[in-house]
Amino acid sequence: MEGDDILLGLLGSDSIFGGDGFDRIDGQDGNDYLSGGNAIDFIAGGAGRDRIFGDDGNDQLIGELGNDTVYGGLGDDYAAGNPGSDQLYGGDGNDFFVGEAGKDRVFGQEGDDFVAGGDDNDTVSGGNGDDLVDGDAGKDELYGNAGLDVLFGDSGRDYLEGGAGADVLWGGAGADRFVLRNLTDTGSINADADYIGDFSFAGGDRLDLSRIDANEGRSGNQAFSFIGTASFTRAGQANYSVSGGDTFVALNTDADADAEAVIHIEQLGVNSNWFVL
């Protein structure tokens, strides 16, 4: 449709396409397919299991009641899943996506995004770009992916994985797991390291290194050996040093004495019980 439209669904499963212009679309009850088209649109799904597409423009997309799927598309979009177990995909642009109530899956995809899970146990992923990833309440899985990301677990037993780039990770309340999946997920020197801001061993937090092969010269996935503050003498060792009141955990996976990965922890001292090796 052309022009600036107000489009309302009926009771039942509707398909509504905004087309060009600044459109306001409300699917109301039923399992609806709602597409904004070009320009800046406001789309509300209403009750039901809806599929909502922002398409072009800086759109506002609201899932409302039901287990909805929302696609931001192009532009800097705002989306909220509201009650229900929703799936939100940011697409291109710098998006602000919040799952809110329910077990949600929120993906920022491209751009510098703010993505949050809301209440319940959510999966939240920043995608490419420098993202702010917030789990909020619940037992959440948080992924920064590529870019310089900031992850907040908030309350609950959260899983935090920064991904590629120098990331900042805060677990919040609860026994959290900070995971390094690849050596390239952090820097190899102190200045480029991922930063963990609130690690608490007493609170149940752990630093999980088990996904990394500690010895590149052997087949399989070898576990690291923690050697405290001693210098590296062989592959497969993890040690730590203290500088400026903070701890730097270093990993060595080859024959030389240089670290392949370093993790910066705002905490004094470390022991082997902190790790999943």
| Average pLDDT value for residue range 86-103 | 95
| Average pLDDT value for residue range 4-25 | 85
The answer to whether residue 1 scores a pLDDT higher than 60 is: no
Closest CA to 262 of 203, 201, 196: 196
State which amino acid sits at residue 74. L
In a domain, 261, yes or no: no
In a domain, 93, yes or no: yes
pLDDT of residue 10: 83
Handedness of CA 176, 160, 113, 67 (dihedral sign): negative
What is the average pLDDT value for the chain, to the nearest integer? Answer: 94
pLDDT of residue 267: 84
In a domain, 226, yes or no: no
Closest CA to 6 of 15, 18, 14, 86: 18
Closest CA to 98 of 61, 128, 73, 66: 61
Whether 178 and 210 have beta carbons less than 8 Å apart is answered as no
| Average pLDDT value for residue range 47-54 | 94
pLDDT of residue 19: 78
The answer to whether residue 2 scores a pLDDT higher than 80 is: no
The answer to whether residue 62 scores a pLDDT higher than 80 is: yes
pLDDT tens, residue by residue, 134-179: 999 999 999 999 999 999 999 999 999 999 999 999 999 999 999 9
The answer to whether residue 266 scores a pLDDT higher than 70 is: yes
Whether 94 and 113 have beta carbons less than 8 Å apart is answered as yes
In a domain, 98, yes or no: yes
pLDDT of residue 37: 83
The answer to whether residue 3 scores a pLDDT higher than 80 is: no
- The percentage of residues in the chain with a pLDDT greater than 70, rounded to a whole number, is 99
Looking at the 3D structure of the chain, how many domains does it have?
A: 1
The answer to whether residue 67 scores a pLDDT higher than 80 is: yes
pTM exceeds 0.85, yes or no: yes
pLDDT of residue 269: 78
pLDDT of residue 105: 97
| Average pLDDT value for residue range 106-125 | 96
pLDDT tens, residue by residue, 233-246: 999 999 999 998 89
In a domain, 192, yes or no: yes
- Residue 244: is it exposed, middle or buried by C-beta count within 10 angstroms (0-12/13-18/19+)? exposed
| Average pLDDT value for residue range 3-8 | 78
- Count of CA atoms in the C-beta half-sphere (13 A) of 239: 18
Other CB atoms closer than 10 Å to residue 59's CB: what's the count? 30
pLDDT tens, residue by residue, 175-232: 999 999 999 999 999 999 999 999 999 999 999 999 999 998 899 999 999 999 999 9
In a domain, 264, yes or no: no
The answer to whether residue 97 scores a pLDDT higher than 70 is: yes
Name the residue range of residue 162's domain: 6-216
Whether 79 and 88 have beta carbons less than 8 Å apart is answered as yes
In a domain, 59, yes or no: yes
In a domain, 253, yes or no: no
Between vectors from CA 233 to CA 228 and to CA 234, what angle results, nearest 5°?
A: 105
- The percentage of residues in the chain with a pLDDT greater than 90, rounded to a whole number, is 82
